[in-house]
A and B are shown apart, each in its own frame.
Chain A
Amino acid sequence: MGMIIQGATGDWEVVIGLEVHAQVSSNSKLFSGSATEYGADQNTQVSFVDAAMPGMLPVINEMAVEQAVRTGLGLKAKINKYSVFDRKNYFYADLPQGYQISQFLQPIVGEGTMTIELKDGEIREIGITRLHLEQDAGKSIHDQHPSMTLVDLNRSGVALMEIVSEPDLRSPEEAAAYVKKLRSIVRYLGTCDGNMDEGSMRADVNVSVRKFGDELGTRCEMKNLNSMRFIQQAIVYEANRQVDILEAGGKIKQETRLYDSVKGETRSMRSKEEAHDYRYFPDPDLLPLQFDDAYIEKIKADLPELPDEKKARFIKELKISDYDAGVLVAEKEVADFFEVVAKGRDAKLSANWIIGDFFGNLKRTSNTLSNTPVSADSLGALIDLVKDGTISNRTAKEVLEEMFDTGKDAAAIVDEKGLKQVSDTGAIEAAIDTIIAANLDKVEQYRGGKDKLLGFFVGQVMKATGGKANPGVVNQLLKPKLDG
């Protein structure tokens, strides 16, 4: 469902296009051999090339090319065997060359598509316009010195993929779903770590509004949004701002706007606006980027299974529900974890355990999958204990908690605490007989048609056996005795 803004003059549709900058996973920068790791001391991961010292020249990193092609293939996009690096010229303190090496008219990846799934299960196909490679800029720090802006060039020259969507998105939720899906895909591919906190993924959001059926309206761009929440908030604010202007008979000015997450509003960045003329031209320090079909085929051959395909397989082959499959494939780590647990086990049961109690415990203990104290194999062993009747489902939930808290194995905990359930019919039968004898009045009522009392008897037997009786066996023995 798209977002609709009801105005005095009618309903407005919101149109959104996204430009996502995804940092390429690589050891070294796009055009230099310095490191890309996050969080280093200022200007320590900078070469003379990154600092644009006189006479320095770019040499392309083959990994950046490969990652761009891989991502393009993941987006089912056209790979361009001939592309060109251009210079985008503008002055800024953290842009040492005075230009960014980017790709303008001939990007490495052309049109593609991506599907997003909305809450109500609706599937939407979103067009990808292009993907190109470019250099990141450095970082300007405005609040560390009273009168100066400080510049750190560690990021300068890091390889980015700019992935541009068609204006196919219609609501903040769709925009968020798009970014989530894109993030999922690049993480599956291993082409970007998707870490939005560290700036590995940022989105420029283009928003316009129009009356249904009208031509596209004038858009405004909000740059460098680095969280799903900000993306959505900025869209809501901006769309409403535009509707207000249009309803009042005004006109939207195409411009770049800054989203202020503290005030929750967007505002004009006049400084960035004046006299923008990037004077793109092919970078004479580089030659065109060329490769052949064999190169593409080689990358294609070891492309991993992507979330859409994985989901379809889980549903078809493992009989997992659509919803559960969707949850399991959203993150590659989860899907991998699931596949280890489900291997040789009941897939549905494994899925239930992961989505239910396992995730619950992760949250309870403030852990994430990456540092889970309970491995996939441990969880699998726990499920095995349930499956073979060693412990009850209920006991298993307690054991899992214990596993999270102590890091011990399920079997060890069951042993230690004597939680092994009793399946010995003789012992259970004896307990049943005792309880029936002590509750003859209730037996009468049961036989008189009060079926619900079955639960009471089960409970009593369990209590008498210290919760260790196998509920299946209890049921099996109890019913014939009660029925007489």
Chain B
Amino acid sequence: MSDLTKLKISEARDGLKEGKFSSRELIAAHLTAMGSAKGMNAFITETLDKAVDGATKSDDRRAKGDVGKLEGIPLAIKDLFCTKGVLTTAGSHILDGFTPQYESTVTTNLWNEGAVMLGKVNLDEFAMGSSNETSFYGNVVNPWRRTTDDQPLVPGGSSGGSASAVASNIAMGATGTDTGGSIRQPAAFTGIVGMKPTYGRCSRWGVVAFASSLDQAGPMTRSVQDAAIMLEAMCGFDPKDSTSVDMAVPNFEAALTGDIRGLKVGIPKEYRLDGISSEISALWEKGIEWLKNAGAEIVDISLPHTKYALPAYYIIAPAEASSNLARYDGVRFGLRVEGESLDDMYSKTRGEGFGEEVKRRLLIGTYALSAGYYDAYYLKAQKVRARIADDFKEAYKSVDVILTPTTPSAAFAFGEKGDDPLEMYLNDVFTVPASLAGLPGISVPAGLSADGLPLGLQILGRPFDEETVLRAAGVLEKAAEFTATPTAWWRG
């Protein structure tokens, strides 16, 4: 039997259906891969028993003709999703030992479709980061290496564990969450597909909150088709989330017709940043060419407030986080550092429980909401956000999708962007605007940098028009013919 871990979800689905292998065999292959890749530090918790048990049950269901959309498919779950009876950490010391007594809606949906959990994957602490260097459980290493040196590279963040697990064939797919680019950016850095659906498409219930008005779960896979399959299983209306949209879930896979003739593709001039690497610019040009060749119409558009998206994001997200993370106080779950008084206990617990980047953002957020500064910071940022959303609304009057690079550069080495948080924040320059506007976006691996690292292109769409986004992404994927894979150094 060929290496089962190399299969895409769509292929494994066919193989299982045709009885070429069982879910038990499929899971076993992935558990072996997981065992040999510890050096990547992708997993915080490996749930081997659960995986074997899940595979057995899946095979039983299949025998009875009860087959879900992801029947028997091995997935990795970002450790931001609460999983009943399984340690959930959000990559933070402050959630030490926290074992939820409930299961998030998104993972519930996945299990209901027959998926099997391999484990909980690493992430930036509370999803705050773009390089997976802020997890209490250590850095996740990118499976890719430059052809020019052996330096370990970051996988991007915050869904870095998800990205590395999928890129290195440990998991067939993984859940990610995207607040300002946390699915799309690591997908680009690891040469996989990552999709953030429209805000409201996936339920946030049971997902540890970072910034409520931005957080959105999505699939990370090795093909656009897989992303469509997985998204369809994950999303759907949830009455437990007031911001979940009561809308039928389309057959996303069926949207992948390969036909984008007449599709209007917008190219925003404001994304042609100074300092963008020439490789990225060249890739973007190629992307434009590919879509044009497939019959799309290219339209130059303007998103005038693009420049302000990052600063607005870095007020809104920390402000919401400062409130969302107030519940980590050592009273009901997680870490408690004893103190002389209640307040002393709070301060010590939170002082020791949160890492540096989280603390920095909580302080910024607290300050931005505090008396006398609310109007100048938070309110102003929310108004600028409305302007950014209006820019997109205006643009979508003349185009169907927008094509941009996903990131301004390829993956970088650990410590390379260490000292200045602002430099790190710039990683999300192309992903944040759509997050602020709540729009669907996907990153597709589209080429390699000169030193052999994957680069991604991003397609953005109208609210709840994931189908068109996927369709365009499918065409892009086909034209790009991205087949490169990382050399499996971690098995050495």
Contacts and interface: CB of A to CB of B under 8 A. Distances in A.
A, B co-complexed: yes
Interface of A: 48, 51-60, 87, 89, 91-93, 96-99, 149, 151, 277, 279-281, 283-287
Interface stretch (B187-195, B199-207, B271-279): B199-207
Interface string B91-109: 0000100101110100000
A284 B320 contact: yes
B327 A97 contact: yes
B242 A48 contact: no
B100 A284 contact: no
Contacts of B95: 54
A98 B323 contact: yes
B209 A54 contact: yes
A149 B342 contact: yes
Given A97-B327, A99-B326, A57 B101 contact: no
B213 A96 contact: no
B204 A286 contact: no
Given A55-B104, A91-B343, 11 more contacts: A51-B332, A54-B82, A55-B204, A57-B241, A91-B329, A96-B332, A97-B326, A277-B371, A281-B369, A285-B242, A287-B243
B401 interface: no
* Best-surrounded residue of A87, A98, A280, A284 (most CB of chain B within 10 A): A284
Interface in B328-349: 329, 331-333, 342-343, 346
A31 to B, nearest CB: 9
Please indicate which of the listed interface residues B88, B204, B319, B332 has the most CB atoms of chain A within 10 Å of its own CB: B332
A277 B100 CA distance: 32
A280 B100 CA distance: 29
Contacts of B366: 279
B220 interface: no
Interface of A is mostly: loop
Nearest to A271: B343
B90 interface: yes
B242 A56 contact: no
A133 to B, nearest CB: 15
Closest A-B pairs by Cβ, 6 of them: A98-B326, A284-B212, A279-B369, A284-B213, A55-B206, A52-B327
A151 B331 CA distance: 9
Nearest to A31: B242
Interface in B366-402: 366, 369-371, 374, 378
Contact of B243 (A93, A98, A279, A285): A285
Contact of A58 (B98, B242, B331): B242
17 contacts: A53-B82, A55-B100, A55-B204, A56-B206, A57-B242, A59-B242, A60-B242, A89-B322, A89-B369, A279-B322, A279-B374, A280-B374, A281-B319, A283-B212, A284-B213, A286-B242, A286-B243
A73 to B, nearest CB: 26
A287 to B, nearest CB: 6
A98 B211 CA distance: 15
A94 to B, nearest CB: 9
A281 B378 contact: yes
Given A54-B209, A55-B104, A89 B323 contact: yes
B208 interface: yes
Contacts, number: 101
Nearest to A90: B326
B317 to A, nearest CB: 10
Interface string B462-474: 0000000000000
Contacts of A285: 209, 212, 242-243
B342 A55 contact: no
Interface string B213-257: 100000000000000000000000001111100000000000000
Contacts of A97: 326-327
A286 B329 CA distance: 23
B207 to A, nearest CB: 5
A99 B323 contact: yes
A280 B82 CA distance: 28
Given A91-B329, A279-B374, A285-B243, A55 B369 contact: no
Among A58, A60, A92, A279, chain B packs the most CB atoms within 10 A around the CB of A279
A54 B320 contact: no
B374 A281 contact: yes
Residue from B242, B322, B343, B378 with most neighbouring chain A CB atoms (10 Å): B242
A54 B323 contact: no
A435 to B, nearest CB: 85
Nearest to B239: A59
A55 B84 CA distance: 13
A53 B333 contact: yes
Given A89-B323, A98-B329, A279-B323, A56 B205 contact: yes
B327 A55 contact: no
Contacts of B88: 54
Nearest to A282: B382
Contacts of B371: 277, 279
B208 A54 contact: yes
Give the most central of B90, B102, B207, B326: most A CB within 10 Å: B326
